[in-house]
């Protein structure tokens, strides 16, 4: 079992996010996982790239992550991601960091 921050395994993080989606009544299109690949950049993460492609095709409008550092650890990548989110009317929700771009002032 792979342990992550705060002692939650990847499977436990996934379950918590699925429960969050159910609570918020988000329909889960797909779970994108790059297990074992660092979030130091977004280019070397195949599932992350598939998620971005699905976002660009209008298949998803929310990206839900356990923590922001599970999405990216690069400020430059985060800035680029936020620009893409805005362009494609998609929102980022990070459960443990209380990040929700759908409620941000624009």
Domain segments of the chain as ranges: 8-103
Superfamily name with CATH number, domain 8-103: Resolvase, N-terminal catalytic domain (3.40.50.1390)
- pLDDT for 41-50, tens place per residue? 888 999 999 9
pTM: 0.83
Mean pLDDT of 10-39: 92
Nearest C-alpha neighbor of 65 from the set 23, 2, 8, 21: 21
- pLDDT for 44-96, tens place per residue? 999 999 999 999 999 999 999 999 999 999 999 999 999 999 999 999 999 88
- Contact predicate 51/63, CB 8 Å: yes
| pLDDT for residue 50 | 96
Q: Taking 70 as the threshold, does the pLDDT of residue 3 lie above it?
A: no
């Amino acid at each position: 079992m792979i342990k992550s921050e705060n002692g939650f395994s990847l499977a436990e993080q996934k379950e918590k996010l699925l429960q969050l989606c159910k609570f918020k009544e988000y329909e889960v299109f797909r779970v994108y996982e790059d297990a074992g690949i660092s979030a130091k950049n977004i280019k070397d993460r195949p599932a992350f790239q598939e998620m971005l492609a699905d976002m660009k095709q209008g298949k998803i409008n929310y990206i839900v992550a356990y923590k922001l550092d599970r999405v990216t650890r690069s400020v430059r990548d985060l800035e680029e991601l936020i620009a893409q989110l805005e362009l494609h009317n998609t929102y980022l929700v990070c459960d443990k960091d209380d990040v929700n771009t759908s409620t941000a002032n624009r």
